[in-house]
Structure 1
Amino acid sequence: MSDRFRLTLAQLNPTLGDITGNAAKARAAWDKGRTAGADMVALPEMFLSGYQTQDLVWRPAFQA
């Protein structure tokens, strides 16, 4: 067991409502972090949906 814990902070810019694209960015950041030896990769709050979801909650496609 290692005495060290490595954390990668992924400062990414999500696209509002683009869950598929944001997930791809998250996976790429995770892969890059793991390659660099990170034990954990932290993403910004509400990264998958984008931050301002007020406009999205009324769209039927987003509710599904």
Structure 2
Amino acid sequence: MPKLYRLLTEEDTSAFCHKVSDAMAKGWELYGDPCYAFDAANNMMRCAQAVTKEVESDYSPDMKLGQQ
């Protein structure tokens, strides 16, 4: 079964937690630890979390990963 990979990113607010929680509710699994970095251009902290998901269909670069 193919495994898909996504990197979720967002400003360091509750929106990031909601984005990750939504992905997990749709069957995505956390992959590794979250990362934080300072975005100097926008003067804010940003978060990132990798997630993976096994799917029935074959992978295609045209897939909308957020809809899987």
Give the TM-score range, shorter chain.
0.3 to 0.5
Q: Which structure: greater helix fraction?
A: 1
Greater C-alpha radius of gyration: 1
Q: Which structure: greater strand fraction?
A: 2
Q: TM-score, normalised by structure 2?
A: 0.37
